Amino acid sequence: MLPLIGEETRIEVTGEALQDVNTWRKQMIHYIKEENPEVNAAIIDAAGKTDLDPKAVALGAYLTYVMLEKAEKEETGAINKILE
């Protein structure tokens, strides 16, 4: 099951990304390429094979990936706190 993305995480990630969209998107290309190359390849494939703006498709996918990653870390941290 995917972690629940809270409003704080959404605001944090979108705020960070929208400060400089092009730079953030390029950083995510490299980050996700290292973290999960198959996900990055799928994002690049989807972005290049639609009639939609490829940069917008990639941005949406990267935003989602980062928000899910942060939400998972928050959930794991909360569970670990409970178990201590």
Residue pair 67/9 in contact (Cβ under 8 Å)? The answer is yes
Angstrom distance (rounded) from CA 42 to CA 61: 10
For the chain, which residues make up each domain, given as ranges?
7-83
Q: For residue range 28-84, what is the model confidence (pLDDT) as tens digits?
A: 989 999 999 999 999 999 989 989 999 999 999 999 999 999 999 988 876 766 776
Q: Six-digit token pair at 64? A: 């989602």
The predicted pLDDT at position 13 comes to 95
Look up the pTM and report it. 0.84
Angstrom distance (rounded) from CA 75 to CA 35: 19
- The H or E element containing residue 11 is helix 7-19
Residue pair 15/83 in contact (Cβ under 8 Å)? The answer is no
Residue pair 13/67 in contact (Cβ under 8 Å)? The answer is yes
